[in-house]
Each structure stands twice: as structure tokens, then as C-alpha cells.
């Protein structure tokens, strides 16, 4: 399934198949997010979310409290 991602370096939104990237937070436990490489600059980019979307609606899960998901 193709997801939308945002590259801050290129300032572009692109579609790609995301890859799940997980880590262990000492505060929140297991966290994960979808990432994809930008087709222009090869930078690892996070999923794009429209303004006003909540963490629960995005594909990022760690209880919705990780500061990395707050935009």
C-alpha cells in the first residue's frame, strides 16, 4: 500500500511503500513509525500528515504521546 511521505529537505510530498521503523523508549515502551527514502535526495522521511490530524489517525503508534510525533 502506498503512503504519503514528506521530505523537509526537498519540501516535497511523495508516495512510497513505507517501512516500519521501531525503537524502545524508556518512557513510552515500544514505539514505531513509517519511513521511506525520498526519491530525489535519498533522505529518510516521515509519513506526511495533513494539518490538524491526530496521532491516532496516523500510522505512528506509541500511545500517541511521543514528542517525535507532535508536529
pLDDT tens digit sequence for 23-56: 999 999 999 999 999 999 999 999 998 887 555 4
Count how many domains the chain has: 1
Over pLDDT 70: what percentage of the chain? 72
What is the span of the domain harbouring residue 7?
A: 3-69
- Looking at residue 20, its pLDDT comes to 94
Give the DSSP per-residue string, the chain.
--EEEEETTTTEEEEE--EEEEEEETTTEEEEEEEEE-TTT--EEEEP--TT--GGGSS-BSTT--GGG--
Amino acid at each position: 500500500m502506498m503512503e504519503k511521505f514528506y521530505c523537509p529537505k526537498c519540501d516535497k510530498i511523495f508516495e512510497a511503500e513505507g517501512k516500519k521503523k521501531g525503537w524502545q523508549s524508556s518512557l513510552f515502551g515500544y514505539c514505531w513509525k513509517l519511513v521511506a527514502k525520498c526519491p530525489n535526495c535519498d533522505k529518510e522521511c516521515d509519513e506526511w500528515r495533513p494539518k490538524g490530524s491526530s496521532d491516532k489517525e496516523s500510522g505512528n503508534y506509541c500511545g500517541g504521546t511521543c514528542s517525535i510525533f507532535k508536529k
